[in-house]
Structure 1
Amino acid sequence: MAQSRRMIVLRAVIEDYIRSQEPVGSSSLTKHHDLGVSSATVRNDMAALEDEGYLIQPHTSAGRIPTEQGYRYFVDRLSTVVPLTQAQRRGIGRFLQGSISLQDTLQRAARLLANITGQVAVVSSPALSKTTLRHVELVPIAMSTVLAVIITDTGSVAQHTLDVPAMPERETVSAFSNRVNDQCVGLSLAKAAEQVRQLVKRPDMTDVQRLATVLAQAFESMAEDETAGDLYMAGTSRLAHRRSIVDLAPLFDALEEQVVLMKLMSSLSEENSGVGVAIGSETHTPGLMHSAVVTSGYGHSSNDLRGDVQTQRQGTGTQNALAGSDQPVAFVGSIGPTHMDYSTTMAAVRAVARYLTVLVSHDSYGAYDADEQGGGS
């Protein structure tokens, strides 16, 4: 018996089970797939696949269903991630048009992904520790208080009230603000803090030493924020309508543990330069033992968004390598049952991540055109 044919049978079982969610028998496979062999031969192949741990027979005389090992083999050998249709791509563009802020964009992206997949969608806002400085504005608001408005490259805005007992002249504050922007824009917040501390060592900067110190501390405080910020989630109610509450209880518990969830999905997106997949026990999360997580990082991507995506296997994960991409600043992902439609889910996660990369990196909320960007998938 050829090993390649056996794996074709495995793929057919998984595809049919994803579609029907019913155990798959040999007669059904030969009826719906052109396997070129008899039902008896397919039955023998399925028995061998069961012995090897790829399939399991839930009931005597019933068909077989994939195991976690079977799904992993299937996902790792998806030679391509089928792109979304042109209508779906245009739908993404229309849905995200009109976003008025980063938060609005991420909320829309979560709802959009949940609608496409019918599963739970999770989108994180960019971690401040991974962003760079776009602009800082220093505004005296009291005799000894300066408001620092800090804007990052992803559009995040933070306001810090700085205590400055020896307040410099307003013109001096403005000049210092301009100097900081000249020297620090494009640097990470940690590097910006270092640069500000270096600036005030100059003899002509003695008047702003206290202001520089507290501004550097504000940068450092933001840089030390290793969390991914806010988490936007959608699709939980729809999933509840499709499955019993008893079955979903562990999953809902896992979704409540947002810190654990963010760590899992952030790590998965960083380990895989495109789309990462963790199935069941690979999530190392008790509530996700019967679920799969598909995620992709977004932001800080230097790759050509119109380029082809190649699926690669690395360890236990699948990645769609985008050559030249930088570390992501945040992630977008989908959580569903292990029998999810992996191809569609991976394509949807990838497409939404690409849209977010363009929107966030250019701060062009509502201005993204799918056709101009080569379809965005």
Structure 2
Amino acid sequence: MADDRRLKVLSAIVTDYVRTREPVGSKALAERYQLGVSPATIRNDMAVLEDEGYILQPHTSAGRVPTEKGYRLFVDEVARIKPLSIPERNAITALLAGAVDLEQVVARTVRALAQLTGQLAVVEYPSLKLTSLQHLELVALGPTRLLLVIITDTGRVEQRTVSLAATRVEGSDLHLPQVIDPLTLERLRTRLNAALVGRRAADVAPILAALAEHAPAEERALLSAVSEELVAALRPDAEERLVVAGTANLARSIPDFASIGPLLDAIEEQVVLLRLFTADPASGGRSLAGMHVSIGSENQDDALAEASVVTTTYGPREGDAVAHLGVIGPTRMDYPATMAAVRAVASYLSRFLSPTQAQDPEP
């Protein structure tokens, strides 16, 4: 659509309908918005918009409401990410201030995002496979068991229990437990950190294989057991972690959904949410200012056919995304405000992960 006036009419209809949840008529548009034309001209523009599928009339003699196609055009051509107000920026600072580790900051971030947008918020923990190792710790838990602690450069901490398998006594069917020697454990911890700190997940397996070739005999069994758990934790299909907040916000949006049950079920399973984050951007929706917005059927999932999803990425360095965050709500969504909040919260998380930067959210 190239007609700027009709775009303004569509924008006014979307804005009014998002605010009131009531069908919008030409008289209301003429009274509330400075469109510079008469109600009759607005009616003509609305007729064209309806013929082209951007708005529809839900009931005879009623006003018009945006369609999925109308929301799409609004986001692509009209919506502009508006800066956060000072109270909104202060709200982010107040909600997130005092977080001292990744667990706290993610928990507070998802609550802040749900509160700012009035939607369901989802934050993904930084993926182990996309981060760099900062430290490995090996702690003996008993004669044959130890705790492997993986700490990444994003502050994520993963713990794995490692058990040493019993070995067969040569020349017999007898199996004896392997006992962890504290000095051997310390030497292995030092060797692993020297080889792996600063390395990405994809580099770990070949480095461990090289270490195994040259490992002293007394370290081999221990190194093998630790390596197996470490590679498993960093494998490409390792389970990712999501935190969700604001489910009650969806409940308040029930009038916007014909049936909200399938959507709530999908959110509870979380597999749908992970698929939203990892989907090929070309499969549905559009990217705008570093964010991905998918509306209704663009979500490629029946459970989200009446929902809109706004997502973006965050990471410790510019252009180095390690995880996603976003919101899910009805298609009747305040897109400019939602995108602004998602962008600001992602900026805060990125700054938290990068200690060299300031901790204030972007405006």
TM-score between the two structures when normalised by the length of structure 1: 0.83
Which residue is equivalent to 1:316?
A: none
- The SS at the match of 2:213 is coil
- Deviation of 1:51 (Å): 1.0
Partner of 1:263: 275
- Count of residue pairs brought into register by the alignment: 346
CA displacement, residues 189-213 of structure 1 (integer Å, 9 cap, x when unaligned)? 34123212212323x6443222222
The SS at the match of 1:114 is helix
Q: Distance between the aligned counterparts of 1:283 and 1:34, measured in 2?
A: 35
Question: Does the 8 A contact of 1:228 with 1:330 survive in 2?
Answer: no
What do residues 306-326 of structure 1 show as CA deviations (whole Å, max 9, x unaligned)?
xxxxxxxxxxxxxxxxxxx12
Distance 1:24 1:139, change over 3 A: same
Do the aligned residues in 2 keep the contact of 1:268 with 1:295 (CA within 8 Å)?
A: no
**What's the secondary structure of 2:138's corresponding residue?**
strand
| 2:191 maps to amino acid | R
Which of 209, 217, 226 matches 2:228? 217
In 2, are the aligned partners of 1:254 and 1:285 still within 8 Å (CA)?
Answer: no
- 2:315 pairs with 1:299: yes
Partner of 1:279: 295
Unpaired runs of at least 5, structure 2 = 165-176
| Contact 1:127–1:329 under 8 Å retained in 2 | yes
After superposition, the Cα gap between the structure-2 partners of 1:207 and 1:78, relative to the gap in structure 1 and judged at 3 Å, is farther
Q: Tell me the amino acid that sits aligned with residue 260 of structure 1.
A: V
Deviation at 1:242, TM superposition (A): 4.9
TM-superposed CA distance for 1:31, in Å, is: 1.6
Mapped contact 1:129–1:223 kept (Cα < 8 A) = yes
Query: Identity rate of aligned residues, in percent?
Result: 43
Distance 2:144 2:250 in 1: 53
Aligned partner letter, 2:198: G
1:60 to partner: Cα distance: 1.7
Instruction: Name the structure 1 match of 2:330.
Output: 337
The structural deviation recorded for 1:50 is 0.9
**Structure 1 unaligned blocks of 5 or more:** 304-324
Write the distance in 2 (CA, Å) between the matches of 1:285 and 1:247.
14
Pair 227,285 (structure 1): closer, same or farther in 2 beyond 3 Å: farther
Report how far residue 343 of structure 1 moved.
0.6
Q: Helix, strand or coil: the match of 1:137?
A: strand
Does the residue aligned with 1:74 lie in a helix, a strand or coil? Answer: helix
8 Å contact kept, 2:138–2:189: yes
Distance 1:232 1:56 in 2: 37
Distance (whole Å) between structure 1 residues aligned to residue 248 and residue 145 of structure 2: 47
- Corresponding position of 1:193: 205
Structure number with larger C-alpha Rg? 2
Alignment of 1:87-98 (within 5 A): 87-98=87-98
> In structure 1, what residue type is equivalent to 2:322?
V
What is the CA distance between 1:282 and its match in structure 2? Answer: 0.6
Q: Given the alignment of the two structures, is residue 233 of structure 1 paired with residue 251 of structure 2, yes or no?
A: no
Partners of 1:212 and 1:78 lie apart in 2 by 58
Distance, in Å, in 1 between the alignment partners of 2:2 and 2:192 is: 67
- Provide the C-alpha distance between the structure 1 equivalents of 2:180 and 2:104, rounded to a whole number of angstroms: 38
The separation in 2 between residues aligned to 1:110 and 1:15, in whole angstroms, is 26
Q: 1:1-377 residue pairs with structure 2 within 5 A?
A: 3-78=3-78, 80-164=80-164, 169-202=181-214, 205-224=216-235, 226=237, 229-243=240-254, 247-267=259-279, 272=287, 274-300=290-316, 302-303=317-318, 325-326=319-320, 328-362=321-355, 369-370=359-360, 375-377=361-363
Could you tell me how far 1:233 is from its partner in structure 2? 1.6
Q: d(CA) in 1 for partners of 2:3 and 2:11?
A: 13
